Amino acid sequence: MNVLSVDNLTVRFGEAHPVNAVSFEVRPRETLAIVGESGSGKSLTALAMMGLLPRNAKVSGAIRIATKEGPADMIGLPERQRRALRGKQVSMVFQEPMTSLNPVHTIGHQIGEALAAHEKLSPPARRARVIELMNLVRIPDATRRVDDYPHQLSGGMRQRVMIAIAVACRPRILIADEATTALDVTIQAQILQLLDRLRVELDMAIVLITHDLGVVAQWADRVVVMYAGHHVEEGAPGALFSKPLHPYTRGLLAASPRLHGALTYRDIPLAEIPGSITSAKGEPGCPFRPRCPRAAAICLGSMPPSVSHPGDRRTACHLPLSPSEDPADVPAFA
């Protein structure tokens, strides 16, 4: 049984449709990566899964979270019941810990708030549990640092505090929204290793939102590619990166630095996807059409449906690439 099912999720702000008919599932104990350019709708999708969109957002579709009592739809629930699910069933690690943590409260107090919301613990028991969580996320000298303030910690340590808050009540789903973007490469690797260890130890699934395709290739079990609020491709990283079916996925890969034999990164010219993401107003046709080297008349009429392909893959494209197609015969990005 899936721990999370997103079905035909659409988010509207007036005439804008930043998320449009997105569907995917998250399986137990897997890491699902969501990738795409800025403006693709990744973070809005994550906020919708948490029930944290602003009041002026009009949300339709279904976001079903598996609970012991059965699936709970985050869209249809009243706010009181959503709050009961946040932290207990689904939690989120945000991109910038310094702006997410309260500078006037100790880190121990802030980790303890998550416990106070869902578990009835005495103050001494709560403090002991906070120190246990700090040790779990590998914050050194936790007994002393529990009374530190966020400004006394490095960026990597602050992100570990955010992870401790997110996993305090052992959620079944952890959403990491660009959780390593603001960190240097060494600390980024440590945080990703920590998340993967916690995934196994706490028996939870992870939704990893990132721009870094190298991170996706190393840590994800499946990948969802989003463009202009649409789900355009899905598959395992190995198959998706070696034989992309959607022209947009191919463009993302071509724009990413890679090593080829003895060549260095500087020796390899990067392709650029021309133009920028179109306005999210729900115009007919494929949203990638203005930037696509394969665009044809069929792309003008309607949004292509999501079609299943062998190997547990899906793509939404009127003219998808074929796994057997020679890349030399495919129109390339400039």
Q: Give per-residue pLDDT as tens, 2-18.
A: 999 999 999 999 888 89
Contact indicator for 273, 36 with CB cutoff of 8 Å: no
State yes or no: pLDDT of 73 exceeds 50.
yes
Residue 117 belongs to domain with CATH number = 3.40.50.300
Range list of β-strands (E), 134-285 = 173-177, 205-209, 222-227, 230-235
Measured distance CA(321)–CA(328) in Å, rounded = 12
Please compute the mean of the pLDDT values over residues 256-272 and round it to a whole number: 60
Please compute the mean of the pLDDT values over residues 54-59 and round it to a whole number: 92
Q: Which of 284, 209, 291, 231 is nearest to 20 (CA)?
A: 231
Residue 29 lies in a domain: yes
Q: Which helix (H) or strand (E) element contains residue 73?
A: strand 72-73
| Domain end call among 220, 246, 267 | 220
Residue 61 lies in a domain: yes
Residue 172 and residue 106 in one domain: yes
Q: Which of 212, 236, 208, 265 is nearest to 32 (CA)?
A: 208
Domain range for 285: 226-329
Contact indicator for 171, 89 with CB cutoff of 8 Å: yes
Residue 308 and residue 325 in one domain: yes
Residue 171 and residue 255 in one domain: no
Residue 79 and residue 15 in one domain: yes
Residue 235 and residue 214 in one domain: no
Sheet of 16-26: strand order equals 16-26, 4-13, 58-65, 72-73
* pLDDT given at position 331: 52
Work out the pLDDT band at 327, boundaries 50, 70, 90: very low
CB-based contacts of 330: which residues, under 8 Å, 6+ apart?
250, 293, 294, 321
Q: How far is CA 76 from the centre of its chain?
A: 22
Residue 66 lies in a domain: yes
| Domain end call among 176, 194, 220 | 220
* pLDDT given at position 334: 46
What's the angle, vertex CA 230, arms to CA 229 and CA 234, rounded to 5? 130
Residue 334 lies in a domain: no
* pLDDT given at position 328: 44
| Domain end call among 220, 247, 276 | 220
Mean pLDDT across the chain: 88
Residue 160 and residue 284 in one domain: no
Residue 234 lies in a domain: yes
State the pairing for strand pair 4-13/313-315: unpaired
Residue 95 lies in a domain: yes
Work out the pLDDT band at 263, boundaries 50, 70, 90: very low
Residue 143 and residue 252 in one domain: no
The token duo for 71 is 């699936």
Structural domains of the chain, count? 2
* pLDDT given at position 140: 94
Residue 210 lies in a domain: yes
Please compute the mean of the pLDDT values over residues 84-103 and round it to a whole number: 88
Residue 56 and residue 178 in one domain: yes
Residue 55 and residue 183 in one domain: yes
Residue 322 and residue 191 in one domain: no
Residue 267 lies in a domain: yes
Contact indicator for 66, 3 with CB cutoff of 8 Å: yes
- The pLDDT tens digits for 266-297 are 556 777 888 888 766 667 889 999 999 888 99
State yes or no: pLDDT of 94 exceeds 60.
yes
Contact indicator for 134, 145 with CB cutoff of 8 Å: yes
Please compute the mean of the pLDDT values over residues 219-241 and round it to a whole number: 94
Residue 30 and residue 172 in one domain: yes
Residue 145 and residue 27 in one domain: yes
Tokens 């240097």 belong to: 184
